[in-house]
Amino acid sequence: MGIFIKKLQDADAEDLYKFELGNRAFFEEMVPTRGDDYYEPEIFKIRHESLLEEQAEGLSCFYLIKDEDGSILGRINVVDMDESRETAHLGYRIGQLHTGKGVAKKALKLVLETVIERGIKQVLAKTTTNNIASQKVLERSGFTRIETSDEEFEMNGQKVKFVTYFWTSNA
Protein backbone atom coordinates (compact mmCIF):
# COMPACT_ATOMS: atom_id res chain seq x y z
CA MET A 1 0.00 0.00 0.00
CA GLY A 2 1.43 3.35 -1.06
CA ILE A 3 1.11 6.07 1.52
CA PHE A 4 2.33 9.61 2.00
CA ILE A 5 2.30 12.17 4.79
CA LYS A 6 0.92 15.65 4.32
CA LYS A 7 1.06 18.58 6.71
CA LEU A 8 -2.25 19.40 8.33
CA GLN A 9 -4.18 22.21 6.62
CA ASP A 10 -7.34 24.17 7.35
CA ALA A 11 -9.17 22.31 4.56
CA ASP A 12 -8.58 18.99 6.38
CA ALA A 13 -10.86 19.81 9.32
CA GLU A 14 -14.01 18.05 8.12
CA ASP A 15 -12.31 14.86 6.93
CA LEU A 16 -10.16 14.71 10.05
CA TYR A 17 -13.22 15.15 12.27
CA LYS A 18 -14.92 12.23 10.52
CA PHE A 19 -11.76 10.12 10.87
CA GLU A 20 -11.43 10.86 14.60
CA LEU A 21 -15.13 10.32 15.29
CA GLY A 22 -15.21 7.08 13.30
CA ASN A 23 -12.20 5.68 15.15
CA ARG A 24 -12.94 7.03 18.63
CA ALA A 25 -13.85 3.73 20.29
CA PHE A 26 -10.88 1.96 18.70
CA PHE A 27 -8.40 4.66 19.77
CA GLU A 28 -9.75 4.76 23.30
CA GLU A 29 -8.96 1.06 23.71
CA MET A 30 -5.24 1.89 23.53
CA VAL A 31 -4.77 5.51 24.57
CA PRO A 32 -6.44 7.76 27.13
CA THR A 33 -9.58 9.47 25.85
CA ARG A 34 -9.50 13.01 24.55
CA GLY A 35 -12.82 13.56 26.29
CA ASP A 36 -16.34 14.09 25.02
CA ASP A 37 -15.75 17.79 24.30
CA TYR A 38 -13.12 16.94 21.67
CA TYR A 39 -15.84 15.40 19.53
CA GLU A 40 -18.15 18.42 19.63
CA PRO A 41 -17.92 19.93 16.10
CA GLU A 42 -17.30 23.52 17.25
CA ILE A 43 -14.69 22.52 19.82
CA PHE A 44 -12.99 20.24 17.29
CA LYS A 45 -12.81 23.17 14.86
CA ILE A 46 -11.24 25.44 17.50
CA ARG A 47 -8.69 22.76 18.42
CA HIS A 48 -7.92 22.21 14.73
CA GLU A 49 -7.23 25.93 14.30
CA SER A 50 -5.03 25.86 17.39
CA LEU A 51 -2.94 23.02 15.92
CA LEU A 52 -2.51 25.01 12.71
CA GLU A 53 -1.30 28.02 14.70
CA GLU A 54 1.18 25.87 16.62
CA GLN A 55 2.41 24.38 13.36
CA ALA A 56 2.82 27.87 11.85
CA GLU A 57 5.03 28.81 14.81
CA GLY A 58 7.37 25.96 13.84
CA LEU A 59 7.26 24.15 17.17
CA SER A 60 5.22 21.23 15.89
CA CYS A 61 4.32 19.44 12.67
CA PHE A 62 1.00 17.67 12.35
CA TYR A 63 0.75 15.23 9.46
CA LEU A 64 -2.08 13.26 7.98
CA ILE A 65 -1.20 9.81 6.70
CA LYS A 66 -2.99 9.29 3.40
CA ASP A 67 -3.26 6.71 0.66
CA GLU A 68 -3.11 7.28 -3.12
CA ASP A 69 -6.80 8.24 -3.13
CA GLY A 70 -6.25 10.93 -0.49
CA SER A 71 -8.15 9.04 2.23
CA ILE A 72 -6.93 9.57 5.78
CA LEU A 73 -5.39 6.39 7.19
CA GLY A 74 -4.00 7.99 10.32
CA ARG A 75 -2.08 10.89 11.70
CA ILE A 76 1.45 11.38 12.96
CA ASN A 77 2.62 14.36 14.95
CA VAL A 78 6.00 15.75 15.89
CA VAL A 79 5.69 18.20 18.77
CA ASP A 80 7.88 20.14 21.17
CA MET A 81 10.57 20.44 18.51
CA ASP A 82 13.66 22.06 19.92
CA GLU A 83 16.15 22.58 17.12
CA SER A 84 18.78 23.96 19.51
CA ARG A 85 18.66 20.71 21.51
CA GLU A 86 17.87 18.66 18.36
CA THR A 87 14.94 16.94 20.11
CA ALA A 88 11.23 16.34 19.55
CA HIS A 89 8.32 14.18 20.71
CA LEU A 90 6.30 11.88 18.47
CA GLY A 91 2.76 10.59 18.52
CA TYR A 92 0.64 8.74 15.98
CA ARG A 93 -2.64 6.92 15.51
CA ILE A 94 -3.75 4.66 12.70
CA GLY A 95 -7.41 4.11 11.86
CA GLN A 96 -8.82 0.72 12.78
CA LEU A 97 -9.32 -0.42 9.17
CA HIS A 98 -5.66 0.26 8.38
CA THR A 99 -3.83 -1.43 11.26
CA GLY A 100 -1.61 -4.43 10.62
CA LYS A 101 -0.80 -3.28 7.07
CA GLY A 102 2.51 -1.51 7.70
CA VAL A 103 0.98 1.97 7.59
CA ALA A 104 2.45 3.08 10.92
CA LYS A 105 5.92 1.80 10.08
CA LYS A 106 5.93 3.48 6.65
CA ALA A 107 4.61 6.76 8.05
CA LEU A 108 7.14 6.68 10.88
CA LYS A 109 9.97 6.23 8.38
CA LEU A 110 8.71 9.20 6.34
CA VAL A 111 8.34 11.48 9.36
CA LEU A 112 11.76 10.56 10.75
CA GLU A 113 13.32 11.48 7.40
CA THR A 114 11.52 14.81 7.63
CA VAL A 115 12.69 15.60 11.16
CA ILE A 116 16.28 14.74 10.27
CA GLU A 117 16.07 17.38 7.52
CA ARG A 118 15.05 19.90 10.21
CA GLY A 119 18.06 19.01 12.34
CA ILE A 120 16.22 16.87 14.89
CA LYS A 121 18.41 13.98 16.00
CA GLN A 122 16.54 12.59 19.01
CA VAL A 123 12.87 11.71 19.29
CA LEU A 124 10.86 10.52 22.28
CA ALA A 125 7.61 8.57 21.92
CA LYS A 126 5.14 7.23 24.47
CA THR A 127 2.61 4.46 24.33
CA THR A 128 0.72 2.41 26.88
CA THR A 129 1.66 -1.01 28.24
CA ASN A 130 -1.41 -2.55 26.61
CA ASN A 131 -0.60 -1.16 23.14
CA ILE A 132 1.67 -3.98 22.02
CA ALA A 133 1.25 -3.15 18.32
CA SER A 134 2.59 0.37 18.84
CA GLN A 135 5.49 -0.96 20.90
CA LYS A 136 6.42 -3.33 18.07
CA VAL A 137 6.23 -0.57 15.46
CA LEU A 138 8.49 1.68 17.50
CA GLU A 139 11.02 -1.09 18.19
CA ARG A 140 11.08 -2.19 14.54
CA SER A 141 11.65 1.43 13.56
CA GLY A 142 14.80 1.80 15.63
CA PHE A 143 13.32 3.14 18.88
CA THR A 144 14.64 1.83 22.19
CA ARG A 145 12.42 1.29 25.21
CA ILE A 146 13.90 3.45 27.95
CA GLU A 147 11.29 3.60 30.70
CA THR A 148 8.03 2.24 32.00
CA SER A 149 6.29 4.68 34.30
CA ASP A 150 5.82 3.74 37.94
CA GLU A 151 2.37 5.31 37.89
CA GLU A 152 -0.55 3.13 36.91
CA PHE A 153 -3.83 4.51 35.70
CA GLU A 154 -7.09 2.87 34.80
CA MET A 155 -8.23 2.79 31.21
CA ASN A 156 -11.22 0.72 30.11
CA GLY A 157 -11.17 -1.21 33.38
CA GLN A 158 -7.50 -2.13 32.93
CA LYS A 159 -4.49 -0.93 34.89
CA VAL A 160 -1.90 0.44 32.44
CA LYS A 161 1.29 2.47 32.49
CA PHE A 162 3.04 4.67 29.99
CA VAL A 163 6.07 3.28 28.17
CA THR A 164 8.66 5.72 26.80
CA TYR A 165 10.81 5.08 23.73
CA PHE A 166 13.84 6.94 22.40
CA TRP A 167 15.24 7.22 18.88
CA THR A 168 18.53 8.70 17.76
CA SER A 169 19.44 9.57 14.19
CA ASN A 170 22.41 7.88 12.58
CA ALA A 171 22.76 10.79 10.15
Q: Which of 153, 166, 155, 145 shows the shortest CA–CA distance to 30? A: 155
- Regarding pTM above 0.75, the answer is yes
Answer whether 63's CB lies under 8 Å from 6's CB: yes
Q: Which SS3 state, helix, strand or coil, does residue 9 take?
A: coil
CATH code of the domain made up of 3-168: 3.40.630.30
Give me the tens of pLDDT residue by residue for the chain, a chain 171 residues long. Answer: 689 999 999 999 999 999 999 999 998 887 778 888 999 999 999 999 999 999 999 889 999 999 999 999 999 999 999 888 999 999 999 999 999 999 999 999 999 999 999 899 999 999 999 899 999 999 999 999 999 999 988 887 889 999 999 999 986
